Every structure is written in structure tokens, then in C-alpha cells.
Structure 1
């Protein structure tokens, strides 16, 4: 069980917190769009080397070291887009390490170390993230397979170098999910327009279409038909990391709010002497700590294959998203009309609202938690019987 960072992990956390401060300042001077400079800086800082195995060019450290780096980065970066990109890429590393063939690992882990951008296509306009109901189809052909269908709301779709696509094997009623790896220049892969979103505008998302795309058997990640289990294993890491990032994003804003409350006067006293202001600030701190420790606990359970790991990952995402939205809203209220003006706090609120759907909606995660509760109750009944 996680208690605190080791000296080595603490050094990583502090180093990437400093990187986050530099990237936050540089971001203010850049036009809207994907932060390639920040992305390449993280590559140069060897963020991905932490979790890529030594046999494939990395340092082969565990996920706790990477988490320490992400913890530091997310505590100072102020905006979530680059962090969401990091989370997406971390899922791809986990996918390759745990389910990739030797050739897939050699090719795509090397690409990740070079800073290439990955994507994962799950959701469809008619089904959302209900994987069992997807319509993107993989059909057998004499020379392999053919992929047809579409995906939408895909992080990195407009800029990705390669993508993992969730598909359904044709004419199979069960064990019918397959994960397919595609490069950007694959014939028949059509990249749609970039989405126009309320917030998180520096995270490009969009639609992809697959028009009779030839798929070789070597492009299937893991075993065809067992893709659902592979996918859940991959995205569970992202779910808890959403919770961790959600816990840390408000940190610099809350520190500034403490200073503001100590200077701002109302009714002949500084507003931090008013109990309702104290409560607002305390509730923000409680929310951040609750979300952070839920994420730490979920990571420990995921890495140890605990029976409640999937439940814990959904809880971490759900709690983190809720607390982030509440905290961003409280910051706007604390500053009054100043908070409502365009600026860092208003941007935080717009970006925070994206966490209501990124990584799965509240309804989807509550459904998953309930399913896990039923599964655990059934396992307990079977063991007692």
C-alpha cells in the first residue's frame, strides 16, 4: 500500500514539478493548438523512458516512478490538455508492454520514445463508449482482414502518428472484440475535422473513418476476440490518472486564493476571517486530498491485480472529476466577478467541465461500479457456498 514517495520518486516529482512551471509560462506565449514544444520537452526529459522496458530502450522503472513524475507535473501545469495527452500515451505504453507482440513492442515503443503521438479510438456516435455495441467491424479476408466504420471524439485524432482501434469481429456473437493498430498513412484511414470544444482547446480531438482498410494479422494487439479484456486493462490506468490530475490541477489556484483571501478586505476585515470563506477553501483542500488518495489507492490495486482494482479505478475517475468541477466552481465564486472574467480561473472551469466526459461519463462509471459490486458479491457467495 502506498504511504509516501521514496527519495528517488520524490526527486522525480520535484523535477517534473519544475518542468511544469516552465511549460505553464511558455504556454501563455503560444497560439492555440497542441503543445508540441511541451510534448517534446517531456520526451527530452525522458518521461517515457521511465516505463518503457530496458529491452526496448527505456529505463524499465515501475509505474510508481512515472506516477511521481505525473504528480509533480500536474501540480504546476495549470491546464490539463498536455496532461491528458500524457495519460493517453501512458495507456499506449501499458498496451504495448502487456499485450504487444515482440515486433509491435519494438516498433511502437521506439516510436513513443521518439515522441510520436498515439491515439485510441473507442467511442462511436451511436454507441458512445459501450464497447459491446460498437459497429466498427473487422471482417475476415483472404489476405487478412478488412476494417470498416468510424470513431469520434478521439484525443489526438487530427495529429496522431498511430492509433489503436477497437473493433468488432464480424459474425461473432461473443468474444468478438479485436484491437487493431494503424499508422497514420494507412490507405483507407480518413481523418475528419477537428472538434470545436468549450474547453481543453489545446487537446485536439476529432473523428476517424475506416473505409475498407486492409489489416494484417500482425496488426492485431493481443488475441483477436479477447480485445475487451485487453482494453479494460489498458484504460483502467487512464481512469485513475484522470483522478490524480483532477486532484492536482487546482493546487496553484488554491494557493493563490489563500493569498487573495488574506489580502482582500470586506466588512472591515480580510475575507479569510469569514467562516464561509474558510469553509470554501477547506472544502477545496478536502476534495483534492480525497481525489489524490483515491487515485493512489486505485493504482496500488491495479498494479497488484486486486479483485477490486477495476472498481477502484472508476471510483478514482468519478471522484476526481466531481471534485475538480466543484473546486473550479468554488474558485470562481470566491473571486466573484473577477473569477468570471476570462483568465486562468475561468479557463480552469471550462477545462474542468471536460472531465465530466473524458475517460467516460459519470453514468458509465456508476454502471461499471455497480457491475463490479455485483461481480464481487457473486464471488463472495460462491466462495461461501
Structure 2
């Protein structure tokens, strides 16, 4: 990572988000709407070209450039939903850049860099975050293509998606059958559901995907049949560490709100900031910022270098940052008192958004399970299958 370049990219998108995304974020939350024009403006800004090689139409940067841009976007946006939709899109792009074929990259990346919306779909109603419980499956047709059928649930960007990576199975391949399929809007048998009406992250469109014998040729597999698990874990690792970046930057914005309120509001003849119990709240918010950012950078370094610790580190990032943003948002509401709970004032929205961080991208419980497994593998060998 080049620190100077990182800082420049971050500043560029702090300014962009502060000017274009933040102003109407509360209105979008109230209506639960995804702003397509805003998405196009983000694409036109060059946000998606940062991590793409020049021969594929990008700016020639790498994954650190994309993460720097996310750090800036989250700091200025005042809209966690929109930023997490961008994170889901980035996950698909990074998957294609790392594991896609040249043909897949040349076909799909130009659109994804210029206004299309991408998604990755693994979650199902019956299995939640449990990959082994996936039921979506494919069989070969007489021409050798795959007919993919199943249902995905609560998929970020699904209601507005143009390109989706579907996690499915090819049962004929045997026990090692997890496979990644690329599908595009408009294909026969592919249906996207409506935007779910959520408690928080309301600006991020979430919905189901139904697949009824969707035809996918072999050229549309990311890797071969049965080669999807490692690539899926790479994608999940990237997604989870991005959550840490988003939390660090967003809570940094909340800390400024909290500090300003603490200096301006009087209680018992002194500013709130003069009271130790308020000071403790601000200190804990600062800890969330620094710990989430630093650990996310450590996880990214491990992922970028191919270190086996990347998955565990990313789960640590996701767990720490999800708990941190909930605590920070609750403290913000407390500092603002009654007006912090008024919908018209805009503070309570941050708490509603924060709650979803403990579920989206893999629940806190799943992160703990993943971390525990890594600990046991390191110190005691493989866990028994039933644990």
C-alpha cells in the first residue's frame, strides 16, 4: 500500500460522498429507496475503475485503491445502506478480477464499471449463512449447459441487479459440488423479487431471487464444477473486511456529531463533555474506529498475499466492527437524549442501520463459529464434525 496514494483516494471520495450522497440520505431512508441516478454518478466518478487493470478499462490500481475509495465513501456518505450496496457490487467485481476468466472479465466488467449493479447470492431461507445447507442446484442439459434451479433469500442488490453470482451445487459431481454460476438480468427463468421493507439499511435494496431452469453455459462458471468453495470464501473474506472499513469511517462521522453535541449541550452547569460518563462514550467510539480500521487493514494484507489467516482475521473484523457500530450508535442516541429518538431529527436512523451489521454479511454468531474453528485448528487440530 502506498500511504500517500491511499490518503489521496480516500479524500477524493470523502468529498464526493459529502457533496452527492449525504444531502438526501435521510429522505432515502424514509422512503426505503435506492437511488439509481446516484449509483450512476458514483460510477461516472471513476469509483469502480480504481481497482481494475488498464487492459480491462480500469485505472490500473489494485485492491488497496478500492478499499481506500470505500473508506472515503463511507466517511462522507452518511448512508450505510448505499455504501453496503456498493460493497456487495465490489465483491462481485473483485471475484471476477481474481478468479474470473479473461472472457468473463471482458464481457462483464465494462458494464459493472459504468452503471450496472452486481450482486453475489449464497443465502437461502432454509440455510442462512450455512454454505453446506445450500439447495440451489444444476443439472446438465443435452447440449452440455447447466439448468440451474433454486431460491435465494435476502440478497443485497437483488431487486436492481444486472449481474449475479449464484452459489449452487452440481450433485452429479459428487461430494465436492459447490459451484459458482454467473447469471444476467433478462435470462429465461430468472426472477428478482421486490425490495424488502427493512428496519435499517433501507437504502440498500434486498430481496429474493428465484431460478427455474436458468440456462448457464460452462463459460459462465467462476472456476470449474465443484471449485466454488475456495472462491466463495475469498469473496466472503473480502466482504467482511470491507464491513470493518465502512464501520471505521461511518463511526468517525458519528464521533464528530457526538463531540459537537457534547461541547454544545449543557448539563448540571457544565458541557456534557465535562462529565466522565460522556467522555467514556466518546472514547469507546474512538476505539471502535481505530480497532476496526487497523484490523481491516491487517486482514486485507493477509487476503492480498494469500495468507491462510485471512478468513479468521476477516471474521474478527466483522465481529468487532458490528458490535462496535451498535455500541457507538446507541451511545450517540444517549448523548442526544430525547431528540436522538425522534425520526425527524435523523439520529435514530444510525442505530437502526447499525443493528443490521450484526446480521448482514454473516451473523455475529457465524463469525464466532469461524473464529473458534480457526483457533481449534491452530491449537488442537480439526474439530469433530458435529461441533
TM-score interval (norm. to shorter): over 0.9
SS of residue paired to 1:225: coil
Provide the rounded CA distance (Å) in 2 between the counterparts of 1:7 and 1:134: 43
- Give yes or no for the alignment of 1:6 onto 2:3: yes
Q: Take 1:102 and 1:172, find their aligned partners in 2: how far apart are those partners?
A: 25
Structure 1 residue 360 and structure 2 residue 358: aligned?
Answer: no
TM-fit CA distance, 1:339: 0.8
Q: For 1:186-213, what per-residue CA distance to the aligned partner results, in whole angstroms no more than 9, with x for missing partners?
A: 1011222321111111111111111122
Pairwise CA distance, 1:171: 3.6
Question: How many angstroms apart in 1 are the aligned matches of 2:342 and 2:24?
Answer: 22
The whole-number CA distance in structure 2 between the counterparts of 1:53 and 1:335 is 46
| Structure 1 length-normalised TM | 0.94
Q: Do 1:38 and 1:82's aligned partners in 2 also have CA atoms closer than 8 Å?
A: no
Query: 1:173 deviation in Å?
Result: 4.1
Distance in 1 between the 2:122 and 2:64 partners?
27
Instruction: Kindly indicate whether residue 213 of structure 2 is the aligned counterpart of residue 212 of structure 1.
Output: yes
**Change beyond 3 A, Cα 1:351–1:28:** closer
The residue aligned with 1:178 is 179
Describe how 1:155-234 pairs up with structure 2 within 5 A.
155-234=156-235
Equivalent residue runs for 1:78-157 within 5 Å: 78-143=78-143, 144-157=145-158
Distance 2:232 2:72 in 1: 27
Pair 1:345-2:347 in alignment: yes
C-alpha root-mean-square deviation of aligned residues, in Å? Answer: 1.7
- CA offsets, 1:116-160, max 9 Å, x none? 101111011111121112110111221211111100000111111
**Aligned residue for 1:16?**
13
- Aligned residue runs from structure 1 range 211-360, under 5 A: 211-342=212-343, 343-360=345-362
DSSP-derived class of the 2:89 partner:
helix
Relative to structure 1, the CA distance from residue 28 to residue 130 in structure 2 (aligned partners, 3 Å threshold; closer, same or farther) is closer
Contact 2:25–2:78, Cα closer than 8 Å, also in 1: no
* Unaligned residue ranges in structure 2 (runs of 5+): 383-387
Count, aligned residues: 377
- For residue 250 of structure 1, report the CA deviation from its aligned partner: 2.2
Which segment drifts farther, 368-377 or 163-172?
Answer: 368-377
SS of 1:74's equivalent? helix
Separation in structure 2 between the aligned mates of residue 193 and residue 34 of structure 1, nearest angstrom:
12
2: CA distance, partners of 1:361 / 1:26? 29
Equivalent residue, structure 2, for 1:383: none
Counterpart in the other structure of 2:385: none
Query: What is the rounded CA distance, in whole Å, between the counterparts of 1:256 and 1:80 in structure 2?
Result: 16
Name which of structure 1's ranges 210-219 and 222-231 shifts more when overlaid on structure 2.
Answer: 210-219
Q: Distance in 2 between matches of 1:368 and 1:64?
A: 25
Kept in 1, the 8 Å contact 2:248–2:288? The answer is: yes
Inter-CA distance 378–56: structure 2 relative to 1 (3 Å threshold):
farther
1:41-80 alignment to 2 at 5 Å?
A: 41-80=41-80
